[in-house]
A and B are shown apart, each in its own frame.
Chain A
Amino acid sequence: MLEIKHTLCPSCSVGCGINVILDDNSIVGTFPYKRHPVNEGKNCANGRNSIENFENKILEARISNGNVDLEKAIAEISKEIDSSDKVTVILSGNNSLNEASAIKSFSDENNFNLAFYANDLGNFEEVASYNDIEEADSLLVIGDILYENPLIGRRIVHAMKNGAKIYSNIKAENSVTVNVSDETTSSSVEEFLDNYKGNLSDSSVVVFNTVDCEGDLDKIGELESKVLAVYSKPNTKGILNIVDSNSTEEIIEILDDTDVLLVFNDDIVDEIDFDFKSISKIISLSAFENNTTEISDIVVPIKSWLEYDDSFVNSMGESQDFTQVMESDGLSIEEVIEKIKG
């Protein structure tokens, strides 16, 4: 029977609501969630297409690309991590709050290396709210936010309509953000910040989804404006409250010193330019197929975000609950960890 249920979009850290359409416990479509305060029923293409992942849902555990019994795969994971003293755990912004706590505890208990990548955007304790963007008298925008994070982009459009001055720093040749900006540069972020910091006031906001280097984050932090970093995963901000993030260089350094890589619902292969073949064993716990599961030695299916209750923290630091919308026989990350522990 057809049902329409509320959930959160898993595509980035904005925290948009989205309705999913289920037909006899199968996801068949999305439907606007107009009551949701973040996006009012508007979703970008990534959000609406997020359910296409279900076409690539992992249904069976496998070892060396051959399907195996789940218990066998988990026993193999236990064996691998017990026999190595260079185990790295990849925590992901895709992990929900409870999952992240369980993964961190598991990693700490076993003295594994814990690595967490947050798009090199750092963590700012005081962040701007989405309403702050709309009410700002000026905005510094770094990255093509309108195109890449449209539901934050919409707030920038509202700010423009409210009379805010918009200054943007965009490297791409084609950009929509340019069309709502008073001034645009393609200079380095450092130069951009230096040139425009004089245009900022207490009510200004710096919105960014990219920087050139770590030093840019220090410069942004020194400004007397509110700051909003927009990450590529739904709970990156939530996990930054639990662990510090690692830069790309740090992640590569950790990977260089890894024999067994345990990836929790992430596609690190897609994100980090590294020779993953140099790692002896890659173990992936994932709901969906991705570039990392493709090269993993052991793959264990886990529940997707539609199959359990938990929370993500969005870019502005607001914790948002989501509830299970479909039945599942699969295991959660916490359940897999318990089984690995034996």
Chain B
Amino acid sequence: MIMSYVLAKAKNEEILKAGECGGAVTSIFKYLLDEGLVDGVLALRPCDDVYDGIPTFITNSEDLLGTAGSYHCAPTMVGDLIQKYFADKKVAVSVKPCDIRSIDELIKRHKINPDNIYTVGLNCGGTVSPVQARKMIDKFYEADPNDVVSEEIDKGQFIIELGDGSEEAVKIHVLEENGYGRRKNCQRCDVKIPRRANIACGNWGAEDGWTFIEINDDVGQELIDGAKNAGFIETKSPSDVAIEGRSKVENIMKKMSKKNQDASYPLVNESDEWNRCISCYACRDICPICWCYKNCELNKPYFKDEKNIPPSPIAFQGVRLSHMSFSCCDCGQCDDVCPMDIPVSLIFDKLQKKYCERTRYVAGVTTDSKPPLYSPDKVEL
């Protein structure tokens, strides 16, 4: 189908008030739940505070209001949750670009049934680690991190809203030059709009109070038409200026990412961080692409090497690199969970980019049925 754009907003006043830029995403989830099209919605909700977003499965649409809003300080992933725990359920899920990229790779591996999920994409300028976010606000803003009620990344700034309704903003490049701001992999990520999701939503190019939606496939079109016909959203066409504005934002962000890639990829060759590896397998276990679990080659006697700590890089990360680096979606979860702060994702991302140069395959973006080197049959060595 030909890609199309629409502006949408909630018709429900409560959602309109609670949701970001018109509340279209929450309204579409409500439509899916109320019409019985899904068993539940997997989305983020703040747990202890605005920095503490955790995935939650919602089966009653009245609970959706608690998920409204944006959570840039919650760098979570949902692909593996869907794969492990929702195989027998029909699920709607909100996805960042790295979420849908990992879901796409798992679909290619027959680990997620695409007919069982509706994917509502969220444009993403990057995420911030929650504890770092609090330190950053304490250091760069005239505000107590505890007083922040919401945050936003917009127009090159990290913006916080305080309990008294006031806002403060600091340029992201200033924060990042000082070692704060977005996570490193988000800084170099060049997929900002999740076009493999059924629809991709955001405020880039949108008028105030409206969500700009890119409809990516027939299911996405059905979603918009269904939600509109059932009275959950109203829509209108975006102006050419809005479409151009959105494209401009995307291109600026991709340009920034390229600059960050050029700055960080050479560091792979200089990295001496691997000698801190304790073989805890946290990077493997969190990876949204690694799905072998207990059948992982690294658990096999011929690769298991508990005596050598740190392990031989070839025997440990070498095996992982050969198994899945071509499918790395640079979500950065391996960096996030490494107890030794090894920048694991950097080497995987760099190799994916090398692979892309040779094959044109971008993990979770290219619509080829399988990555060129991938074999779906797991062969015992």
Which chain A residue shows the least CB distance to B84?
Answer: A29
From the candidates A29, A42, A179, name the one contacting B275 in the complex (CB within 8 A). A179
> Is A32's CB under 8 angstroms from B286's CB?
yes
Complexed CA–CA distance, A21 and B54 (Å)? 11
> Is A146's CB under 8 angstroms from B340's CB?
yes
Complexed CA–CA distance, A2 and B39 (Å)? 12
> Is B280's CB under 8 angstroms from A40's CB?
no
Instruction: Enumerate chain B residues within 8 angstroms of A45, measured Cβ to Cβ.
Output: 280-282
> Is B57's CB under 8 angstroms from A43's CB?
no
From the candidates A29, A32, A40, A176, name the one contacting B276 in the complex (CB within 8 A). A176
CB-CB contacts below 8 Å: B94-141 with A: 129-132
Query: How many whole Å from B161's CB to the nearest CB in chain A?
Result: 19
Among the 9-residue stretches B219-227, B253-261, B303-311, the one with 4 or more Cβ atoms under 8 Å from chain A is B303-311
From the candidates B40, B59, B277, name the one contacting A176 in the complex (CB within 8 A). B277
CB-CB contacts below 8 Å: A12-34 with B: 19, 21, 23, 28-29, 31-32, 34
> Is A180's CB under 8 angstroms from B276's CB?
yes
Chain A contact surface mostly? mixed
> Is B337's CB under 8 angstroms from A32's CB?
yes
Among the 9-residue stretches B1-9, B12-20, B44-52, the one with 4 or more Cβ atoms under 8 Å from chain A is B44-52
> Is B340's CB under 8 angstroms from A153's CB?
yes
User: Assuming A48-B282, A174-B307, A179-B276, is B131 touching A34 (CB within 8 A)?
Assistant: yes
Instruction: Enumerate chain A residues within 8 angstroms of B130, measured Cβ to Cβ.
Output: 34-35, 40
> Is A1's CB under 8 angstroms from B282's CB?
no
> Is A34's CB under 8 angstroms from B281's CB?
no
Q: Is A6 an interface residue (CB 8 A)?
A: yes
Q: Is B37 an interface residue (CB 8 A)?
A: no
Q: Is A122 an interface residue (CB 8 A)?
A: no
Instruction: Enumerate chain B residues within 8 angstroms of A153, measured Cβ to Cβ.
Output: 278, 339-340
From the candidates A29, A40, A48, A151, name the one contacting B129 in the complex (CB within 8 A). A40
User: Assuming A45-B282, A150-B340, A157-B276, is B309 touching A3 (CB within 8 A)?
Assistant: no
> Is A150's CB under 8 angstroms from B337's CB?
no
CB-CB contacts below 8 Å: B334-375 with A: 336-341
Query: How many whole Å from A337's CB to the nearest CB in chain B?
Result: 32
Q: Is A254 an interface residue (CB 8 A)?
A: no
> Is A4's CB under 8 angstroms from B341's CB?
no
From the candidates A1, A29, A48, A150, name the one contacting B57 in the complex (CB within 8 A). A1
Q: Is B81 an interface residue (CB 8 A)?
A: yes
Instruction: Enumerate chain A residues within 8 angstroms of B51, measured Cβ to Cβ.
Output: 35
Query: How many whole Å from B304's CB to the nearest CB in chain A?
Result: 13
Q: Is A221 an interface residue (CB 8 A)?
A: no
Which chain A residue shows the least CB distance to B51?
Answer: A35
Complexed CA–CA distance, A151 and B85 (Å)? 29
Query: How many whole Å from A322's CB to the nearest CB in chain B?
Result: 13
> Is B337's CB under 8 angstroms from A154's CB?
no
Instruction: Enumerate chain B residues within 8 angstroms of A21, measured Cβ to Cβ.
Output: 81, 85
| Contact size range, A | 35 or more
Instruction: Enumerate chain A residues within 8 angstroms of B307, measured Cβ to Cβ.
Output: 174
> Is A42's CB under 8 angstroms from B85's CB?
no
User: Assuming A3-B56, A40-B129, A45-B280, is B48 touching A35 (CB within 8 A)?
Assistant: yes
| Bitwise interface map of A from 33 to 52 toward B, beta carbon under 8 Å scored 1, else 0 | 01111011111110010000
> Is A157's CB under 8 angstroms from B57's CB?
no
Which chain B residue shows the least CB distance to A158?
Answer: B341
Q: Is A106 an interface residue (CB 8 A)?
A: no
Instruction: Enumerate chain A residues within 8 angstroms of B265, measured Cβ to Cβ.
Output: none
> Is B285's CB under 8 angstroms from A48's CB?
yes
CB-CB contacts below 8 Å: B256-296 with A: 275-278, 280-282, 285-286
> Is B278's CB under 8 angstroms from A150's CB?
yes
Q: Is B316 an interface residue (CB 8 A)?
A: no
> Is A154's CB under 8 angstroms from B86's CB?
no
> Is B339's CB under 8 angstroms from A44's CB?
yes
Complexed CA–CA distance, A49 and B286 (Å)? 13
| Bitwise interface map of B from 324 to 339 toward A, beta carbon under 8 Å scored 1, else 0 | 0000000001001111
Q: Is A147 an interface residue (CB 8 A)?
A: yes
CB-CB contacts below 8 Å: A209-252 with B: none
> Is A174's CB under 8 angstroms from B339's CB?
no
> Is A42's CB under 8 angstroms from B276's CB?
no
Complexed CA–CA distance, A284 and B221 (Å)? 62
Instruction: Enumerate chain B residues within 8 angstroms of A42, measured Cβ to Cβ.
Output: 282, 336-339
Q: Is B55 an interface residue (CB 8 A)?
A: yes
Q: Is B194 an interface residue (CB 8 A)?
A: no
> Is A34's CB under 8 angstroms from B336's CB?
yes
> Is A176's CB under 8 angstroms from B339's CB?
no
CB-CB contacts below 8 Å: A256-288 with B: none
> Is B75's CB under 8 angstroms from A34's CB?
yes
> Is A2's CB under 8 angstroms from B86's CB?
yes
Which residues of A are at the interface with B, using a C-beta cutoff of 8 A?
A: 1-4, 6, 19, 21, 23, 28-29, 31-32, 34-37, 39-45, 48, 146-147, 150-151, 153-154, 157-158, 174-176, 179-180
Extra contacts, 12 of them, besides A40-B336, A151-B339 (Cβ < 8 A), are: A1-B57, A34-B129, A35-B130, A35-B131, A40-B131, A43-B339, A44-B280, A150-B280, A154-B341, A157-B340, A175-B309, A176-B309
User: Which 5 A-B residue pairings sit nearest by Cβ, starting from the closest?
Assistant: A150-B339, A35-B52, A179-B275, A45-B280, A35-B130
A sample of 12 cross-chain residue pairs with beta-carbon separation below 8 angstroms, ordered by A number, consists of A31-B54, A34-B75, A35-B47, A40-B132, A42-B336, A45-B280, A48-B285, A150-B340, A153-B340, A154-B340, A175-B309, A176-B277
